[in-house]
Structure 1
Amino acid sequence: MNTRSRISILLAALWWGSLTGLGFVVVPMLFIQLPSPAAAGAMAAKLFTAQTWLSVACAMLLLLVENKKEAPALSPSAQAAMKFIVAGLLLAVLVEFGVAPRIVNARADGGNLRLWHGLGSAMYLAQWLAAGWTLWCLSRMPREGDATPG
């Protein structure tokens, strides 16, 4: 396995792992441990913003690493990975700049918090799936210089 392949897998693992840790461990623990849902929500919002920037960085670096100009065409696995990288990147940005401000506004003015929170959660889950599928595709992809089973 070459260095480029290892970097791609590490980036995808960081992206998926950070989404997993934050969304399925840290944020639920905030709501259990902090004294009020408002305090937990405020902290979760800050953590989700940090996660967005980590997701953007991982996705952009993955796109740079996986975009091989010397390769005439991407393999089907690489094409699938690229699609999921772009989808995950778009979902991260949409949640941060489209949904998160509406959640804040819904809390402040009594708007439809349940709707926006549900939409944000669904988009976070979709981003988690995109990052996971990216990791799956990149870890399964035959790489140049690898011995073929025979």
Structure 2
Amino acid sequence: MPAARLLVAALWAGVLWALGYIAAPAAFAVLDSVQAGDLVAVLLTRQAWLSIACAVVLLVLLRLSTDLAPPRRKFLSLLVLAMLACTLVIFVGLQPAMAQLRELAGPGGVRASPYWTQFAVMHGVSQLFYLVQSLLGAWLLVRLR
């Protein structure tokens, strides 16, 4: 079971890192901002569902683990729950609000709209939660080995 826990955590953290620090910046480097935003929004939605699935699987695996002392199991579960909380804040709270602003902005894009400042603040908060989640993922991987 330790290998399964590590593989699920590696999948979760790896997807976070690959999307947030490689794919999203690359999309904005080669596409116009509206197309890149559309693409990254789809990728982030898929990443959020994967994060929820990984969190559930990890919590079940941790609950069933007989090889971990209860304090360590509790700590690891709290790390998973903290990562899940970051996902939910972004996916349920910030992404829908940002999508609404993008829709209100129209075809010219949010940068050319009066909603830009509000969008930029939400985007910054979202990035902060994403960074925290990424760091928690690294910490989880280190603590699982």
Q: Verify same fold: TM over 0.5.
A: yes
Q: How far off is 1:33 after superposition?
A: 1.1
Structure 1's consecutive aligned runs of 4 or more residues displaced over 6 angstroms after TM superposition are: none
Q: Distance in 2 between matches of 1:87 and 1:120?
A: 15
Following TM superposition, by how much is the alpha carbon of 1:44 offset from its aligned partner in structure 2, in angstroms? Answer: 0.2
Identity %: 31
Structural RMSD (CA): 1.8
TM-score (norm 2): 0.85
- The one-character-per-residue Cα deviations of 1:80-137 (angstroms, maximum 9, x if unpaired) are 2111100101110120110001112223254301110001111111111122211111
Look at both structures and tell me which one has the larger radius of gyration over its CA atoms.
Answer: 1
Tell me, yes or no, if the aligned pair for 1:103 and 1:116 is still in contact at 8 Å: yes
Q: Which runs of 5+ in 2 are unaligned?
A: 106-113
Q: TM-score of the superposition, structure 1-length normalised?
A: 0.83
2:24 is aligned to 27
Correspondence 1:1-150 to 2 at 5 A: 4-34=1-31, 36-68=32-64, 74-76=70-72, 78-107=73-102, 108-109=104-105, 110-111=114-115, 112-139=118-145
CA distance in 2, matches of 1:69, 1:11: 14
Aligned length: 134
SS for the counterpart of 1:67 is helix
Letter in 1 for 2:43: L
Structure 1 unaligned residues grouped into runs of 5+: 140-150
Indicate how the Cα distance of structure 1 residues 26 and 71 shifts in structure 2: closer, same or farther if over 3 A, else same. closer
Which SS does the other structure have where 1:125 is aligned?
helix
SS in 1 for 2:64: coil
